[in-house]
Each structure stands twice: as C-alpha cells, then as structure tokens.
Chain A
Amino acid sequence: MARGSAVLSPETELGGRPLRRRHAAVAAGTGLVLGLLALGPALAPGFVLAYDMVFVPHPVFDRETFGLTGMLPRHVPSDAVVTALSQVLPADLVQKAILLAIFVIACVSASALVPSERLTARLAGGVVYAWNPFVAERLLLGQWALLLGYAALPWVVRAAARGDPRRLILSLVPAAIGGFAAMAVSGLVVLAIGLRREPPRLLLPLAGLLVMSLPWFVPSMELFSGVPADPAGVTAFAARADTPFGTLGSLLLLGGGWNAETVPPGYGAVVTAVPWLCVVLLALAAYAGRGTGTRGLGTAALVGLFLAALGAVAPGLLRGAIGLWPGFAVLRDGQQYLAPSALAVAVGTGLAVDRLGRWRPELAALALLVPVALLPGLAWGAGGRLAAVRYPADWARARAVVRADPGDVLVLPWEAYRSYPWNHGRRVLDPLPRFLPGRVILNDAVRVGTTGRRDLRMAAEDPRARALGPLIRSGAPLTGALRARGVRYVAVDAPESLGVPAERLAGTERVAAGPDLVLYRIPAVVPSREKRVPQWPVEIAWFITFAVVVWSTRLPVGSLFARSSPKEP
C-alpha cells in the first residue's frame, strides 16, 4: 500500500495526528536558513525599501493607518500591525522579523501538509513552497503583506478542509494582517475547498472570510463607488513571459509576474528553466492515483491559474468586467492568484520525494537542494536587490518640523515611486506619507514603463491628488492655490528636482533643506475640508475582528501543526 494519502479531504484530516515536534522544528529551522539565505544584506541594520515594501522608523497611528483618509485602504491593517509592533521593537527589526517569518511559516505550514512520514518528503514540500519564482518575484516587488498570507495558506487549506470555524479563523490571521490581496488569495482557496466538499459548505467559510476582512472592507465600502479603477492597469499588470515557455508556461512555473525588474537574477535561462519545468511536471504527476482528497486545492490552483492568465489572454474581457464593476480591478495583477498553484506544486513535490525516498533515500535528501539550485538568484537579497539602508538626516529634520507645527503636506515631484540615490537607485513607493505625521498628499497614479512604447499611467485614486494634479502639472504658481486647499507644506524629496522654480513657490518659507529633501511652509493656510471616512464603523469592524480572533485562540495554536494522515482514506 502506498504511503501518503489524499490528505486534504475532511475525512482524513479529522484523523490527523499532531506533527512530530522534531519535524516541525527541523522545518522551522530550514525555513529560517532559507530566509537568512534569501534576505542576506537585507538583515543589516536599516530598512529594506523595495517597490511596495515601505517601513519607516517610529511609525505612528494616524487616520491613514486605518484607511480613514478617503483612499483605498491598500495597507490596512498591515500598517496598523507594523505600527503596533514598532511600539515595542525598533521598526527595522520588525521588518526583518516579518520577512524571516514568511519563510519560516511557509516552510513549516507546507511541510505539515505533505502526507508522508518521511522528514525529507515534508521538507521538500516546505522548501519548494518557501523558495520558488512566485516568492522571489513577489518579495522583490515588496509585497510582504501578500506573502504573509501566502505563507499561511497551507494552514488555511487544512482548516477549510476540516470545516472547523475556529481553526479557520486562526489560520486566516496572517492573511488578515496582510490585508486585501492576501485575503483575496486565501478566500479563493477557502471557497474552492468549501465548494468541493460533500455537501458543499460555504456559509461558515464566507462568514469567516468576511469577519477577517472587516478592517479593510468597511473603509473601502465607504468610498469604493467614487474611486476610479483604471482599465489601463489590465495591460500594465498582465502576466508576462519570464521563461522560454511563453506567458502561460511561465505562469505554470509559478513566475510570470508583470514587472520585468523583479525577475531574480539568472531566472528564466534555459539551463535552469527546463529542469524547473521537469520538477513542476513531476510534482503534478505525483498526484496521479491519489483519490479525490486534493480536489479542493486542485480546483483553487486551476482557478488561480485561470485568473493569473486572464489579463494576458483575454484583456478585453477583464477591461469590460472592470467597466461594469470597478471591483474586478482586483484581477488586474492576476499573478498573485498563483499562490494555490505554488502550494499544489509544493505538496506534489513532497509526494514525489516520498516515492523517491522509498527507492533511494540519499537522493531524496539531495532533492531538498533542487529549488535553491534552480533559483539561485533569490539568494543574498536577490543579488543585492534587497538591502538595508538608513533614511537621510534631512528626512528626520523635516519630520521634526511637521510634528512641531502640523499641517497637510504635498509631495513633489508629482510621482508615486522614487529611485533615491541613498537607496542605491532601487525603486520604492515614496515613504513620505508614512514617514511624516498627518495627511500627506502624493500623486498615487502609478506609471509602468514598457519597451518601445510610451509609459502606461494609471489614474490617481486619492481624491486630493486628483484635484491637485492639473494645477501641479500646469507649471503655474502653486503657493496661493495650495494655501486655499489646505496644504501647509511642500516636500521635495528627489535631488534632481530640488530646484523647483522659485516663482512656483513664491511666498513660502524654506524650513528644512538638505541634499535629500527640502521642505517649504506655506503661511496662513485655509484648513482643508477633506471628506473623511466615518470613524465609528471602522472601530466596530476592528472590534468584531479582534473579538473573533480572541475567540479562535481558545484553540491551541499548536493544533495548526497537526499533520495530515499518512494513510489512505
């Protein structure tokens, strides 16, 4: 009788025994080693600033932390959790702990899902899940919040398969911290497994997903109808080929992210892409004859693959859908829905190594190295693309000024992303909105470069950025107009633009100036009348989510490590 089983069915899950502590400890240690290997220079003192990954020293709670400023709450509640943790630990340490935790949780949770008694088989699944093109590209894109939910996805799979609401809530905590994108991916898996149960069970899973989404869902409901969802994003964020196998082949190999700059060094070369294709195919083939227990995860993986490919193979369909309802914009960056596919490949790899272990145990141990050997570009902070830096002293001086005399801040140049020299030219979402206290107005219209064509530019979402955009781009004097619209400061944080024409800011006072940032103060400002999201519904939402999480913790956290039964159902 074959070892291992179709463990994801609820019947076999209920028969699961706790994962051996030794296995869990080894998996955690392996995840930690992988995390250290991947992050490398990013673990030095300072902050890692890469694309969407923005951490700042001494963050404070403000309305933006909770999505109350009229913008889409993309960073809720992840910013709130980071801010809370930063009250007890230095913020750069919090960042490093979170990044390492992603690797540890991914390795532990995925290894617990592999239906085998063999440590090597479990570890093989864990290593593939923690070290693959999906993790690499999303990490380089700075999407740590999504990866936090990704890391815990195997726990979500187990909990959904068992149908235990407490366990489901507890397993969703990392995704809930991650926020919208992480919950969307987890929701896909939960619903797919609920649908494939006999009989289908969707009510409780839906309720669990809703409760854990409340912190970002409630503030987004208040303003969703007024926020543009630019269909141009379909072209900008569609999957693209990063291997010789085309877009669909690249997605099958768990890569295919939209941003060519986040492909790890060396990834996609034939010499590594072909062996990696063989690994993925072997992993999928290992499900042959496993019964029906994995069909929930399989369904989620197939749907995820379909969503990932949608923007590339049927962009018109997606644009039309977004035109009908802006909520479909969540499908623009479809590659993130590959997470269940990555889990399916990881568990399949574990199954394959389990069989290999019966034949040649020493080869099974070597199989652990395959993911790292085929994707060495992720190592050492992806060849230095992830590295820690310190914020310039000019920034701290500007913060002190704004803190002493609060007021709304406008950030120039009128762009969302920066390539600061002090960050060695690495791209990052401008950190000033988090770094400075109070309301900071940034042009959140992102721009994506294309080869041989004009840049693709998405519409701004921040209502104040939309209102101020034409004025700022006009070249006309700014001072009077900004004063009338409640802007107290103008911060210029790109060295090549520090010399804003004096006539545009005539009448302002230069209150902080340095090579990395200049801050101008506008006198006699008329207070702004910004439409804000009501606070009390958001407070109730947080209370409900928090109360439900506390209720779920009556379940021992260790039960998450319960492993799958190694026996056939």
Chain B
Amino acid sequence: MRIAVAMLAGIMLALVTSFGIVRVVTTSQRDPVVKPLYNYGTR
C-alpha cells in the first residue's frame, strides 16, 4: 500500500513538473510546423 501511495504521489509530482517544463519549453520556441505547408516532415 505504501508503495502504491508513493507511486501515485510520485507520478502526480512528475505530472506537475513535466507540465511546467513543457510550458516553459513551448513558450520559448516557435512552432516549427508552420512552413512549408505540404511536407510530410523535415529531416
């Protein structure tokens, strides 16, 4: 039970941390998927 609780708490912590990191990353870069319009992707 303790492991399960610790795991849940850890995952929630990771969730919050990840969300914060991603917000920082995404607000500090431009979306690379704007141009060109018709490519499958870019190497």
Contacts and interface: CB of A to CB of B under 8 A. Distances in A.
**B partners with A:** yes
Contacts of B7: 26, 30, 120, 123, 365, 368
Contacts of A265: 22, 25-26, 29
Contacts of A382: 22
Contacts of B34: 419, 425
B10 A379 contact: no
A133 to B, nearest CB: 15
B5 to A, nearest CB: 10
A67 to B, nearest CB: 21
A376 B11 CA distance: 12
A427 B33 contact: yes
Contacts of B26: 265, 383-384
A260 interface: yes
Interface in A452-498: 455-456, 494, 496
Given A376-B18, A425-B31, A51 B40 contact: yes
Nearest to B15: A37
A382 B26 CA distance: 9
Given A30-B11, A384-B26, A427-B41, A365 B33 contact: no
Given A33-B11, A372-B18, A377 B38 contact: no
A382 B23 CA distance: 10
A313 to B, nearest CB: 16
Interface size class of B (residues with CB under 8 A): 20 to 34
B19 A455 contact: no
A448 B18 contact: no
Nearest to B25: A265
Tell me what chain B mostly uses at the interface: helix, strand, loop, or mixed. Answer: helix
Contact of B43 (A383, A415, A427, A448): A448
Interface residues of A, number: 53
B22 A262 contact: no
A373 B17 CA distance: 8
Contacts of A30: 7, 11
Contacts of A33: 11, 15
B37 A449 contact: no
A48 B23 CA distance: 20
A413 B10 contact: no
Contact of B38 (A26, A141, A368, A415): A415
A450 interface: yes
B17 A376 contact: yes
Nearest to A413: B38
Contacts of B40: 51, 259, 416-417, 427, 446-448
Contacts of B14: 37, 369, 372-373
Nearest to B24: A266
A567 interface: no
Contacts of A51: 40-41
Contact of A417 (B11, B23, B35, B39): B39
B31 to A, nearest CB: 6
26 contacts: A123-B7, A141-B41, A258-B43, A259-B41, A259-B43, A261-B41, A262-B41, A265-B25, A266-B21, A266-B25, A365-B6, A368-B7, A369-B10, A369-B11, A369-B14, A373-B14, A373-B17, A376-B22, A379-B19, A380-B22, A415-B37, A418-B38, A447-B38, A447-B39, A448-B43, A449-B36
